[in-house]
Amino acid sequence: MPERRVFVIRHGERCDFAFGKSGLWINSFDSKGRYRPLDINLPRTLPKRPDGWQGFAADTPLTEIGYLQSKLTGRALRDNGIEINHVLCSPALRCIQTTVGLLKGMGLDKRLQFSVEPGLYEWMVWARYARPCWIPPKDLKKLGYPVREDYVPCWTDKELKMSESMVDYYQRSFGSMNKILAEFPEGNILIVAHGASLETCTRQLVGGDIRSTDDFYYLLQNTPYLSCVELSSREGLWRLVGSPIPSFSHTYNRTFDPLQLVTKDLAGLKREREGKDNMRTTQ
C-alpha cells in the first residue's frame, strides 16, 4: 500500500485571547453591533453570521496576524513539497479562517474545498458560558468560503455534550479521526483544529494511552499557534513522525500608549502595565 500522510495543525492567533484583557476586541462593537476595529491587528471586516454579531463572543475570528500566520504556514507546506488531497476543519470560525489562509499559502484555494467536521471541535468543557454556535457550511458558502456542502459529518453540533470529560474528548477525537480515514481511504489529509487536537487526534491512533490531566495541560500549554504534526502510515499502521515544516516563532508586540510620552506619573503607569502583564501570563 502507498504511504499515507495526515497533518494536524492548530489555528492562528485569536481575537479574544489577543485582546481579551485590553477590551479592544469587544469595544470595537457599538451598542448596535456596528464594527470598527480599534487596533490594526483586529480584522478589517467580519463575516455576517446568522446568530448576529453577539455570536463572535463565543466564536472568535482570527486576528490579522493570525491570518498571516496561516498563509505563511501554508507557504511553508508548499515549499516543503507537501501534497494535500483532502482538508477538514473544526467548525470554529478561527479554524475555518486558518484553513482558508493555509490553502491560499499553498496555492490550493481555487482547487480544493474543505469539509467542516464538528467532531474536531475543542474540549466542550471550555465552552463555559453556552453551547457554541457556528456559521453553517451553507452560509459559509454564500460568504465565499470554499467549503463542501455535501460532506456528511461524523458528529453534529447537538451530539457534542457540554458535560464532556477529558476521556470523552480523547475518544471523540479518536473516533472522528477513524471515521475521517474511512471516509477518505486514499490520499493525504490536512486537519485544522485546536491546540489540544495535535494530541487528542493522534495519541490513540498511534497506539498511545490517554494521558493524565497534568500531562494533557502541559502539552496544550506548549503547543503555540500554527503548530503542525505529521502522521504517516503504511499497511494501516500509523506513526508520529514530527513536523514537516520548521517551527513558527515570533515575539510579543504589546499595545502602544502614546499618552505615556506626556504623563507625569510614569511610575504609576509602569505599575499598571506590570499588572496587565501578570494577568496575561496567567491566562
Contact (CB, 8 A) for 50 and 136 = yes
Cα distance between residue 275 and residue 69, in whole Å: 28
Identify which of 124, 109, 108, 119 has the alpha carbon closest to the alpha carbon of residue 166.
124
> What's the N-to-C CA distance of the chain in angstroms?
46
Is 250 catalytic? The answer is no
Q: How many CA atoms lie within 13 A of 59 on its CB side?
A: 25
Helix (H) or strand (E) holding 147: none
Q: Is 32 exposed, middle or buried (0-12, 13-18, 19+ CB in 10 A)?
A: exposed
Q: Which of 11, 86, 94, 172 is catalytic?
A: 11
Catalytic residue, chosen from 10, 14, 86, 203, is: 10
Cell numbers that stand for 138 in this block: 451553507
Phi and psi, residue 88, nearest 5°: -135, 150
Strands 228-234 and 189-193: unpaired
The residue annotated as part of the active site, out of 4, 5, 49, 194, is 194
Other CB atoms within 10 Å distance of the CB of residue 77: 22
**CA dist., res. 102 & res. 125, Å (int):** 28
Active site annotation includes 86:
no
The dihedral formed by the CA atoms of 65, 66, 72 and 77, expressed in degrees to the nearest 10: 170
Find residue 237's DSSP bridge partners: 234
Q: How many CA atoms lie within 13 A of 177 on its CB side?
A: 26
Which helix H or strand E contains 190, and what residues bound it? strand 189-193
Please identify every residue annotated as catalytic: 10-11, 194
